[in-house]
Structure 1
């Protein structure tokens, strides 16, 4: 019995991570198994420090039960895992045993040129070990720099992006890599390599804070790849639909931005998507 597995945090309050990935999978017609890497009272943006409960101590027992029940996983999405090294070790063992056909790794440990609060450099090493089992890698610009041991420069040009992508491919051996959160004047998007040439998917920048946009983007890419879209097409569609969600959220002045990006328009788009 093959399954699609989502592994990332679940916030009780706020539409991010699993709260976004689960309805996106459902809209694609993909039944997902959902494993919170940790349960949070709220997500970490704007609510103060949340209370949390990690899955670390029970994940091994989950894996053992799956083996007894002959549950296998064909597709796995991995996002935020926190700072406890044991969860990374457990997931690495799980991936080594299962060898899913598609593992999308959306590392979550840094942004804006620095590590998230409470994170250390060991998390970079842990995500690098997980790259061994991944076919798709979607770091943001800061995370990409940390993964290859570079500093985030003040001025980022195409030559730097190309070298960064090349270094990521060489260090991780992941076949499909895109760097998210790349900006240029009034645009924001993702960069990837095709035949040693940098390609981009762009969307207009929208002022404001929109929590969960990265989670939405990676979930969409994941679902589109499961539906057999090519990587560049998956990036293009995911970028368009995420941009639409941001635009819709920006129109609702009464919406508390801490609750995360609204996904209704994106889910409607997925439901009309015919695929390949």
Structure 2
């Protein structure tokens, strides 16, 4: 696969990323992952909160406040202040109307990278606050995405195909990557292929090179799960891209970062629910821009 470098970093310049995600008061994910992880990689993170949660949705009790009504005025104020952006990084959305907010950012910042983590579900199921309408609206962000980063559940929703589980062979991976590229994405990172051999695979594909030139990124599969690893992975990958690395190298760095963070998480109280503890691993990303 040819190197896909999406951002050429000037070491004296700090790139500015709009992070269009929800904010959870308890449970590390979304903005509570994106802000510190991207900051460690030398990025200026500008949050655009899509919802406010008391805790993430894995907890049996949580409150959610939809922020849709405030976002137009929020971005109007950015325009009046002359805010500039180098990237628009979208994740969890609170309502279908918020897709239009992201598309507004695309129009107003046409040179910003479009970085789409289409957060909708996992393990074959949608997240509890999501609807079919919201998932359909989310699909519009795939067209023109510089990086589209779905897990297998999200890839099946985006492409309208049945969820086939995590154990995909190379032919199935190629079909799914091609279907995602056909939606208009320039680059795809397909996450979470598990062939029951003790390893987790992610695949990187570029629209110009085609799926036959895809890159396979393999890491050890740890014998436990952590909440928030998808957000940590996407944020670390984007941080590495904004540090000037090619996409496959960024995927490798993000994979190792998440693995090390999960190992750290095991030693924290309430680790199963609290979320992935990445704090002790942030130096791995800071080193990219030293």
Q: Give the TM-score normalised by structure 1.
A: 0.91
Kindly indicate whether residue 273 of structure 2 is the aligned counterpart of residue 273 of structure 1: no
Aligned with 1:25 (options 38, 62, 72): 38
CA distance in 2, matches of 1:240, 1:164: 24
The answer for the alignment partner of 1:104 in structure 2 is: 115
The answer for the alignment partner of 2:8 in structure 1 is: none
Q: Which moved more, 1:266-275 or 1:33-42?
A: 266-275
Kindly indicate whether residue 147 of structure 2 is the aligned counterpart of residue 131 of structure 1: no
Q: Secondary structure at the match of 1:81?
A: coil
Q: Which moved more, 1:100-109 or 1:185-194?
A: 185-194
Q: Which moved more, 1:263-272 or 1:191-200?
A: 191-200
Q: Which has the higher contact order (CA 8 A, sep 6+)?
A: 2
The answer for the alignment partner of 1:160 in structure 2 is: 172
Aligned with 1:78 (options 81, 90, 96): 90
Aligned with 1:41 (options 39, 49, 54): 54
CA distance in 1, matches of 2:64, 2:192: 27
Do the aligned residues in 2 keep the contact of 1:95 with 1:133 (CA within 8 Å)?
no
Kindly indicate whether residue 72 of structure 2 is the aligned counterpart of residue 60 of structure 1: yes
The CA deviation string for residues 101-132 of structure 1, in whole angstroms up to 9 with x for no partner, is: 21210011121112222422222321221223
Do the aligned residues in 1 keep the contact of 2:226 with 2:275 (CA within 8 Å)?
yes
Do the aligned residues in 2 keep the contact of 1:37 with 1:81 (CA within 8 Å)?
yes
Deviating above 3 A after TM superposition, structure 1's stretches of 4 or more consecutive aligned residues are 253-256
Q: Residue 11 of structure 1: CA displacement?
A: 0.4
Q: Residue 228 of structure 1: CA displacement?
A: 1.2
Aligned with 1:247 (options 256, 263, 270): 263
Do the aligned residues in 1 keep the contact of 2:145 with 2:187 (CA within 8 Å)?
no
Gaps of 5+ in 1: none
Q: Secondary structure at the match of 1:16?
A: coil
Gaps of 5+ in 2: 1-13
Kindly indicate whether residue 255 of structure 2 is the aligned counterpart of residue 234 of structure 1: no
Do the aligned residues in 2 keep the contact of 1:2 with 1:71 (CA within 8 Å)?
no
What is the total number of aligned residue pairs between the two structures? Answer: 271
CA distance in 2, matches of 1:98, 1:4: 11
Q: Residue 255 of structure 1: CA displacement?
A: 4.2
The CA deviation string for residues 241-260 of structure 1, in whole angstroms up to 9 with x for no partner, is: 1111112223x164432111
Please report the RMSD computed on the Cα atoms of aligned residues, expressed in angstroms. Answer: 1.9
The answer for the alignment partner of 1:222 in structure 2 is: 238
> 1:260–1:158: structure 2 CA closer, same or farther, 3 Å change rule?
same
> 1:132–1:96: structure 2 CA closer, same or farther, 3 Å change rule?
farther
Q: Which moved more, 1:67-76 or 1:143-152?
A: 67-76
Q: Give the TM-score normalised by structure 2.
A: 0.87
